Structure 1
Amino acid sequence: MEPSVAASALPATVDTITADDIATLAIGRDISNVFQRIPGVVANNIDQGDTGNGFRMRGFATQGTHGADTAITIDGVPQNIPSSQGGAGHGPAFLEWMTADMIDTIDVIKGPVSALFGDQNRAGAIAIATREGGAATPSSAAITLAGYGGRRASLTLSSDHGAVRSLLVADRYRSDGFRHGASNDRTNLFWKLSTTIGDGIYSVRASYYRSDYAGAGYLSLPALEAGLDPHATQFGLPGFGDAHRGTLVFNRQPTGAGGWFATVYAEDFRRGRAIANSATLHTFGYDDRTIHGGRAGNTWTFGDKAVLTVGAETRSDKGDALRRQYRDRQPTANYVNNQELDLLTYGAFAQVQYRMMPALKLHAGARYDRFDYDVVNRKLPAASTAYRGGAFTPKYGATWSALPGLDVFANVAQGFRSPAAEQISASGSLGPLGAPGGRINADIDPSKVRSRDLGIRARPAAGWNVGAAVYDIGNDDEIVNTAPDVFLPAGRTTRRGYEFDVNWQPGRALGAYLSYGRILRARIDNPAPGAGALLSVPAHTWKAGAQYRGALGPGRLTVNGDVYVTAGNPYYTGTPSMRRDMPTYVRYTLKSGYDVGKVQASLSLVAQPHRFASDIAYGTAAGLLVSTVPRLQAEGSLRYFF
Structure 2
Amino acid sequence: MSTQRIPKSNAQRKAASPRYAALAIACFALMHGHLWAQQAEVRLAEVQVKGQMLDAVQPAFSVTELGRDELREQPRPEVETLWSKVPGVHVNHYHLSGVANGLVLRGFGGGGHGGDVAATLDGIPLNEATSHADGYFDLNVVVPLELDKVNVYRGPVSVLQGNYNRAGLVELRTRRSGSYADMDVSAGSHGLLDAQAALGRELEGGDQFNLAAQHSRGDGDRPSSGFERSTLSGHWKHQVHEKLDISLSGRWHEARGDSPSYLTEAQWLQDRQGTDAHVVGDGANKHFGTLRLDAQYALDADTRLLGFVYGTQQDFVRWFTRPRSGTWMQREERYERSVLGAGLNLNGKSQLAARELNWMLGLEQVRESTDYGYWDGLVNRQRTAAALDDRNTRLNNTALYGQGSWQATNWLQTTAALRWDHFDGSCRLLGAETGGDECNRMQGRSHASPKLGALAQLNPQTAVRASWSQGFALASDFAKYALRNSELSANVFRQTELGVQWKPSGQWLIDAAVYRITSSNEIRNTAPGEYENLGATVRKGAELQLHWMPGRAWHVEWAYGFNHSEVTQSANAALLGQRVVSVPQSTSTLHARWMPSGDVTVHGVLRHVGRAPINATNTEWASSYHWLDLGLQYRLPASMARNASLNLWLRNAANTQYASTTTLIGGQRLVAPGAPRSVQLGLQFSL
Q: Work out whether the TM-score is over 0.5.
A: yes
1:433 counterpart residue number: none
State whether residues 299 and 308 of structure 1, in contact with CA within 8 Å, keep that contact through their aligned partners in structure 2: yes
| Residue 508 of structure 1, CA deviation | 6.9
State whether residues 268 and 673 of structure 2, in contact with CA within 8 Å, keep that contact through their aligned partners in structure 1: no
Name the CA shift for 1:133/1:399 in 2 (closer, same or farther; >3 Å): closer
Q: What amino acid is aligned across from residue 266 of structure 1 in structure 2?
A: G
After TM superposition, the structure 1 = structure 2 runs for residues 424-573 of structure 1, keeping only pairs within 5 Å, are 424-425=480-481, 440-505=484-549, 509-523=553-567, 525-526=569-570, 528=572, 533-535=578-580, 536-549=582-595, 551=597, 556-572=599-615
2:422 counterpart residue number: 370
Q: Tell me the distance in 2 between the aligned counterparts of 1:261 and 1:276.
A: 47
Most deviating of 534-543 and 482-491 = 482-491
| Residue 97 of structure 1, CA deviation | 0.8
SS at structure 1 position matched to 2:166: coil
After TM superposition, the structure 1 = structure 2 runs for residues 220-239 of structure 1, keeping only pairs within 5 Å, are 220-225=264-269, 227-233=270-276, 235-239=278-282
1:16 counterpart residue number: 65
| Residue 4 of structure 1, CA deviation | 6.9
After TM superposition, the structure 1 = structure 2 runs for residues 129-278 of structure 1, keeping only pairs within 5 Å, are 129-132=173-176, 134-135=178-179, 137-140=180-183, 142-162=184-204, 163-195=206-238, 198=242, 202-225=246-269, 227-233=270-276, 235-252=278-295, 258-277=303-322
| Residue 365 of structure 1, CA deviation | 0.9
Q: What amino acid is aligned across from residue 390 of structure 1 in structure 2?
A: S
Q: Tell me the distance in 2 between the aligned counterparts of 1:26 and 1:531.
A: 44
Q: Report whether the alignment pairs 1:348 with 2:395.
A: no
SS at structure 1 position matched to 2:526: strand
Name the CA shift for 1:201/1:529 in 2 (closer, same or farther; >3 Å): farther
Q: Tell me the distance in 1 between the aligned counterparts of 2:384 and 2:249.
A: 40
Query: Could you give the per-residue CA deviations for residues 390-413 of structure 1, whole angstroms, max 9, x where no partner exists?
Result: 111111111112233211111111
Query: Could you give the per-residue CA deviations for residues 277-323 of structure 1, whole angstroms, max 9, x where no partner exists?
Result: 36773211111011110232212212552122111111111130222
Q: What amino acid is aligned across from residue 457 of structure 2 in structure 1?
A: S
CA RMSD of aligned residues (A): 2.7
Q: Tell me the distance in 2 between the aligned counterparts of 1:524 and 1:286.
A: 37
SS at structure 2 position matched to 1:445: coil
Q: Tell me the distance in 2 between the aligned counterparts of 1:234 and 1:11.
A: 53
Q: Tell me the distance in 2 between the aligned counterparts of 1:201 and 1:343.
A: 32
State whether residues 143 and 213 of structure 2, in contact with CA within 8 Å, keep that contact through their aligned partners in structure 1: no
SS at structure 1 position matched to 2:346: strand
SS at structure 2 position matched to 1:282: strand
State whether residues 157 and 167 of structure 1, in contact with CA within 8 Å, keep that contact through their aligned partners in structure 2: yes
Name the CA shift for 1:425/1:302 in 2 (closer, same or farther; >3 Å): closer
Q: Report whether the alignment pairs 1:312 with 2:363.
A: yes
| Residue 382 of structure 1, CA deviation | 6.3
Query: Could you give the per-residue CA deviations for residues 323-359 of structure 1, whole angstroms, max 9, x where no partner exists?
Result: 2225212123333322211211111001112222221
Name the CA shift for 1:4/1:277 in 2 (closer, same or farther; >3 Å): closer
1:335 counterpart residue number: 387
1:420 counterpart residue number: 476
| Residue 603 of structure 1, CA deviation | 1.4
Q: Tell me the distance in 2 between the aligned counterparts of 1:463 and 1:584.
A: 32
State whether residues 33 and 44 of structure 1, in contact with CA within 8 Å, keep that contact through their aligned partners in structure 2: no
The normalised TM-score by structure 1 is: 0.89
Structure 1 vs Structure 2: percent identity of aligned residues?
A: 22
SS at structure 1 position matched to 2:181: coil
Q: How many residue pairs are counted as aligned between the two chains?
A: 614
Higher share in helix: 2
1:432 counterpart residue number: none
2:628 counterpart residue number: 588
Residue 94 of structure 1 is aligned with which of 138, 147, 157? 138
SS at structure 2 position matched to 1:460: strand
Q: Tell me the distance in 2 between the aligned counterparts of 1:234 and 1:318.
A: 37
Query: Could you give the per-residue CA deviations for residues 13-63 of structure 1, whole angstroms, max 9, x where no partner exists?
Result: 1111112101114524x32112221111103552101212432111001x3
Q: What amino acid is aligned across from residue 95 of structure 1 in structure 2?
A: L
| Residue 462 of structure 1, CA deviation | 1.6
Q: What amino acid is aligned across from residue 450 of structure 1 in structure 2?
A: R
SS at structure 1 position matched to 2:70: helix
1:435 counterpart residue number: none
State whether residues 45 and 54 of structure 1, in contact with CA within 8 Å, keep that contact through their aligned partners in structure 2: yes
| Residue 541 of structure 1, CA deviation | 0.9
Most deviating of 356-365 and 407-416 = 356-365
**What residue ranges of structure 2 are gaps of 5+ in the alignment?**
1-51
**What residue ranges of structure 1 are gaps of 5+ in the alignment?**
427-438
Query: Could you give the per-residue CA deviations for residues 366-398 of structure 1, whole angstroms, max 9, x where no partner exists?
Result: 111010111114535964223311111111111
| Residue 90 of structure 1, CA deviation | 0.9
State whether residues 214 and 241 of structure 1, in contact with CA within 8 Å, keep that contact through their aligned partners in structure 2: yes
| Residue 480 of structure 1, CA deviation | 1.6
Higher share in strand: 1
Most deviating of 515-524 and 487-496 = 515-524
Q: What amino acid is aligned across from residue 648 of structure 2 in structure 1?
A: L
Residue 127 of structure 2 is aligned with which of 80, 88, 100? 80
